[in-house]
Each structure stands twice: as C-alpha cells, then as structure tokens.
Chain A
Amino acid sequence: MRCRRCRAPAVVEIRRHNAAFCTDCFVQHVREQVKRAIATHDMFGPEDRVLVAVSGGKDSLALWDLLLGLGYRASGLHLGLGIGGYSSHSGKLARAFADEREADLIEVDLAGEHGFDIPTAGRRSSRSTCSVCGLSKRYVFNRVALERGFDVVATGHNLDDEAATLLGNTLRWQTEYIARQFPVLTAEEGLMKKVKPLFRLSELETAAYAFLRGIDYVLEECPLVAGNTQIRYKEAMNRLEATSPGTKAQFFLGYLERAAPLFEAQDRAELSPCERCGQPTTGRFCAFCRARAQILGWASPAEVCEAVSP
C-alpha cells in the first residue's frame, strides 16, 4: 500500500477518503483538515487566546499539539475528576505533555474546588455518571475561561464523537440538542465561544496522529464508562462504516451542510445568571449548582450558596 501523495510506503489507510498516507503526508493531511475546520467556521485567529480542554486522552492532546504546531496561543486546562488511578495517570500525562512543550497548563481539582469527585457524584446524583461528569467539565471549562480572559474554549470532539451524538439526539428527536450540535457555539452572555477543530477527523485519524507524533496519551478506558450509550452509538456507526465507508462523514457533515439551518429556531432559550454562581442558566439555579446540591446533600442550591462560597 502506497501513500497517495508521495508513493512512499503507507502507514495509515483512510477508507472513507479511499486513500493511504505515509507518516509525513498523514501529519500534513491532519493539519490541513484542522486548518480547514478553523478557517471555514471562523473558530479563532492567531491573536486569540485558546483554552484547550485536556483530558490526557488522544483527542485532546492531539488537538493541543496541532494548535501549538500551527502557531496558536493555546493553553491547556485539565480537570481532576478523582477517578482513582485513571485520573491521576491522566493528569500525569497532561503535565508531561505540557512540560515537554513548555506549554501553559491550568489544573483544577473538582473535589478541591467544588467538594465532590465523579465517583461520589455517580452514587449520589440522579444523573448518570457520564452526564454529571460532562456537566462538571462544561461548567469548569466555561468558568475558568471567563475568569482568566480566554477568547475561546476548544475541545477534542472528533467526527466519531459528533456522528454518535447526532445519532443519539436524532433517535430521541432532541431538537434543542440537535440545534446546538455545531462545530462553533458563539459566545452569549456568560457563555464562552466553544469550538471543535477536530470535527472533520475520525477517531482512527486522531489516534494515528497522536501515535505518529509520539504523544503519550492515556490508553485505559475510564472505569466508570461501562454501558455508556455514546459507545453503543459509536459501535452502531462503526458497523455501518465497515460496509459503507464514509457513512459517518455523510451523516454529520451532511447535517452541518443541509439540515442544521432547519433546527436553528429550536435554539432560543432565554438565559439569566444562576443565583448561586452567576453562570448562565434558564432557571433560578444552573444545572451544575443543582447537581452539586444534590451530591453534597444540601436541601437546595441556595443552601450551598450560603454555606460555601462559589
């Protein structure tokens, strides 16, 4: 198998492009896809301060590496989730990545800052573990980015993530979620601009990029993820992709091109500051403060407000 560009021996095959690449041409291909995503969706410019949400996994570290390599002002934010050895190893890899590149890494410990870790949240919250974990991440990333004067938050969601999420939202016709599933979410009062520069790249491409760039990323799966619906949707999409390469790209990129405008009217909730923390919400208290109150055993978010400073 030969590289499509230079005819050298190939190391990565991308069946949906009917193409294979050698190491150098593959890295170039990935950079081109990210540059195209950033430019096409006006994600950020060279002067913007970008906060990359860094888990220690392949996608977030690949994204950080790509943005630094392309010359962007990219800092990392790692949230310590308190999931035993998995979290401590993830944090160690994020720190090692930052040290090697002399990049700026901000670390926040969920238990230290907000009084609970994810295993505790999974036991005490009415939400699923993955749901309260995602909620905590979105809350902390938004808040830290606002407080520290960043222009945009970048996450490592890839094509597989987006296709699987769109499948789940479509199966349940969650039109308000579908309307917000876009590679760029513009800033609103109290909400940072959020971007997903890897949305054109499959999980195979981000993993291959991370490996070929020598990025040491966390290999073990989160121990709390068993039975996660997102993985089931990914497996379903993979079965379709195996017989029809390009299905994921057609589904998600086709949605962006042709269907997304049809859902825009769904995305019009009025936001006001949470009475406890000031973050934007559609009710009195934001979802994070409500979940936190439940996890900590408080009667209401207002009680947390009085007992613990935001």
Chain B
Amino acid sequence: MRVKLRNPDREVELAGGRKVRDVLLEFGIDPDTVLVIRGRELLTREERVGDDDRIEIRAVISGGSSP
C-alpha cells in the first residue's frame, strides 16, 4: 500500500490488509485530525485498506490569522 503524506509531501510503502485506524496508529496520528482519502472517497477508521491501495492522509488543521 502506498501512503501519501503532506507538509512536506512524501510517500511511504506499508503493508495493507488492515484497518485505517491501524495505519494511523502506526504513524501516531489522531484519526480526528486527518482525512483519509482513497481516490475520490473518504475512509472511516473502520475501513480496510489493501496491499494495492493508494491512500492519502491529509491533515485538517490550519492556523495563523485565519481566514
């Protein structure tokens, strides 16, 4: 499975066949702070991802002098 991370943009290879929550746990990421994207769909924590999947983990936090 290819996992795309941002800020800075990078990709890592991970074993698939597990739930999104386990992938996030491996990165130490709080599920409430990111979107997990596969193609044009969003994945919940309970969704399973396979070896051939490409997913993006996109942080939702923004800061500074919003908007």
Contact = CB atoms under 8 A, between A and B. Distances in A.
Interface of A: 1, 10-13, 15, 20, 53-55, 57-60, 130-131, 133-134, 137, 155-157, 160-161, 202-204, 206-208, 211-212, 219-222, 224-225, 228, 230-231, 234-235, 238-239, 241-242, 245
Given A221-B7, A242-B30, A208 B66 contact: no
B12 interface: no
B3 interface: no
Interface of B: 6-7, 30-33, 35, 37, 41-47, 58, 60-67
A230 B46 CA distance: 31
B65 to A, nearest CB: 3
A161 B31 CA distance: 18
Contacts of A58: 60, 62
A206 B62 CA distance: 11
Contact of B42 (A12, A57, A222): A12
B67 A137 contact: yes
A214 to B, nearest CB: 8
A32 to B, nearest CB: 19
A230 B63 contact: yes
A202 B32 CA distance: 10
A230 B64 contact: yes
Contact of A133 (B30, B47, B58, B64): B64
Chain A interface SS verdict (over half): helix
Contacts of A238: 30, 32-33, 61
B61 A57 contact: no
Given A11-B42, A12-B44, A58-B60, A219 B32 contact: no
A59 B42 contact: no
B61 A231 contact: yes
A88 B33 CA distance: 27
Contacts of B65: 130-131, 133-134, 137
B67 A59 contact: yes
Given A53-B67, A242-B32, 7 more contacts: A12-B44, A133-B64, A211-B35, A211-B37, A212-B42, A238-B30, A238-B32
Chain B interface SS verdict (over half): loop
A57 B66 CA distance: 9
A228 B43 CA distance: 30
A134 B67 CA distance: 8
14 contacts: A1-B46, A1-B47, A59-B66, A134-B64, A155-B67, A156-B66, A203-B60, A208-B60, A219-B58, A221-B63, A230-B66, A238-B33, A239-B30, A242-B30
Q: Which 6 A-B pairs have the closest CB atoms?
A: A134-B65, A231-B63, A207-B60, A133-B65, A225-B64, A11-B42
Contacts of A156: 66-67
A15 B30 CA distance: 12
A225 B59 CA distance: 15
Nearest to A219: B6
B67 A57 contact: yes
Contact of B32 (A15, A20, A53): A15
A130 B44 contact: no
A81 B64 CA distance: 13
A137 B64 CA distance: 12
Contacts of A160: 61
A108 to B, nearest CB: 14
Contact of B43 (A11, A54, A55, A137): A11
A208 B64 contact: no
Contact of A208 (B31, B42, B46, B62): B42
